[in-house]
Amino acid sequence: MKSSILFVDDEQHLLDGLRRSLRGQRKEWDMAFAPSGEEALKMLSEKHFDVVVSDMRMPGMSGAELLEQVSDRFPDMVRLILSGHSEEASILQAVPFAHQFLSKPCDVELIKRVITRSLKLKALVGDPHIQTLVSQIRSLPTLPELYLELTELLRGDRVSVERVGEVISQDPVMVSKILQMVNSAFFGVGRQINSPVQAATLLGTETLKGLVLSAGIFMQFDVEVLKVGGFTLEALHDHCLKVSRLARAIAETTGLDKTGLEESLLAGLLHDIGKLILVQSMPEQYLDYHRQLMECKGDMVEIERQVFNADHGRVGAYLLGLWALSDPLVEAVAYHHDPMASEHFAPSPLLAVHVADALVSADSEDCAVIPAGVDKSYLEACGALDRLEEWRELYRKLFPGGDA
């Protein structure tokens, strides 16, 4: 079946231009064009669409208002917004509802790439319910102390952007959201950014204040609410920081370039973000998952797939992909427990994160971090099986007292 794409813009000549430029996609896409938000909602009520691409500034209903309604009424849709740089203040209104932000005027080839990638990502999570759940996500739990430190920094008279970036870099949720913003075409960086400190510097003080204090891209949560089946945010946070550090160190021994090292560090930090999605959005199922895990001591990923019809790696990867993070990073998150399902067998962020996660989790007794094994078949396919003991020793040096 063709994918259905809806384009919304009040300027008819722009819609006509898109119609002409995308004529070659007609074999793959069923495209519709709406001249207003009101007309778009009418069309959406009559037919299912997979993706909506909306202009930001329109008379009557703005693009942000349209995407808010789409998010509520048609939550499974991929939501993209087009905006001019003069509208940076108004774009904050769309932050909770848009998956990606594109700068207007936008190159048609970029639009095609973004839509094609977004549609392809759905294959990571085949279950429509899980796709809808992930697509709806506007915020995830951040550690309260880091959230308070960040907001206090931004409310101060003298804001250190570097310090802001350092605080953000300690929290997986903050990192994923800030990179979603800086890597959107709207901010016009022109290259993939993987460093939270660099992202904060590029966004600048005023934009950061707007995103955090006004748009609320981070939210404070009661961590007690998340203690489902013994799950603790603190344990998951500590685990991700350790995996991040070890993954980068492992990647360095394999000779990855600077980008590969950054992606390994970042993928290690974000590899378990899918757990946050599942425990926050499906607490009853998470209790069932935890009960089964404790009773039968079975394979974590297999039990996840039985209970949720998805596993936390692919769930997290789907969200990060929607938020425009890089393909190697998305691959590392998606397959860190199932690396043989990937398409690449060579030194990579996936290899680094898979090994790091297994070594760091080996001595875990917390329900948020279940011990995971190393897939030796995958290491052998990557030509790295003989390096496992070297990486165990690296773990022991980085974290004395650990028992990998």
Overall average pLDDT of the 7-21 stretch: 95
What the chain holds in terms of domains, given with CATH numbers, is 3-124 (3.40.50.2300), 141-220 (no CATH), 224-398 (1.10.3210.10)
Per-residue pLDDT, 300: 84
In this structure, what are the phi and psi dihedrals at residue 159, rounded to the nearest 5 degrees?
-100, 125
Mean pLDDT, the chain, as a whole number? 89
**Rounded distance, CA 404 to CA 395, Å?**
7
**Rounded distance, CA 94 to CA 98, Å?**
6
Overall average pLDDT of the 355-377 stretch: 85
Per-residue pLDDT, 220: 65
Token pair, residue 34, equals 């709406």
Per-residue pLDDT, 283: 87
8, 52 in Cβ contact below 8 A? yes
What percent of the chain shows pLDDT beyond 70? 92
Per-residue pLDDT, 177: 87
Residue 54 pairs with which residues in a beta bridge? 8, 81
The pLDDT tens digits of the residues spanning 41-91 come to 999 999 999 999 999 999 999 999 999 999 999 999 999 999 876 566 667
**Where are the alpha helices (H) located in 33-168, listed in sequence order?**
37-46, 63-73, 88-91, 108-121, 128-136, 144-155, 161-168
pLDDT band at 316 (very low <50, low <70, confident <90, very high): very high
The pLDDT tens digits of the residues spanning 219-240 come to 666 666 667 777 788 888 899 9
94: pLDDT strictly greater than 90: no
Between vectors from CA 360 to CA 175 and to CA 198, what angle results, nearest 5°? 20
Per-residue pLDDT, 71: 95
Pairing of strands 141-142, 29-34: unpaired
Task: Give the containing element (helix H, strand E) for 196.
Answer: helix 196-203
**Rounded distance, CA 216 to CA 203, Å?**
16
Q: For 235-245, b where at least 16 C-beta lie within 10 A, e where not — what string?
A: bbbbbbbbbbb
Note if the pTM is more than 0.95.
no
The pLDDT tens digits of the residues spanning 244-257 come to 999 999 999 999 99
Per-residue pLDDT, 60: 92
Overall average pLDDT of the 98-108 stretch: 88
295: pLDDT strictly greater than 90: no
Most confident of 90-94, 235-239, 329-333: 329-333
Per-residue pLDDT, 228: 73
The pLDDT tens digits of the residues spanning 141-160 come to 788 888 889 999 999 888 89
Provide the total of helices (H) and of strands (E) in the chain, helices listed first: 21, 7
Overall average pLDDT of the 178-188 stretch: 78
Provide the 8-state DSSP code for 65. Answer: H
100: pLDDT strictly greater than 60: yes
232, 221 in Cβ contact below 8 A? no
Q: Which residues contact 342 (CB under 8 A, 6 or more apart)?
A: 331, 334, 335, 350
334, 314 in Cβ contact below 8 A? yes
pLDDT band at 126 (very low <50, low <70, confident <90, very high): confident
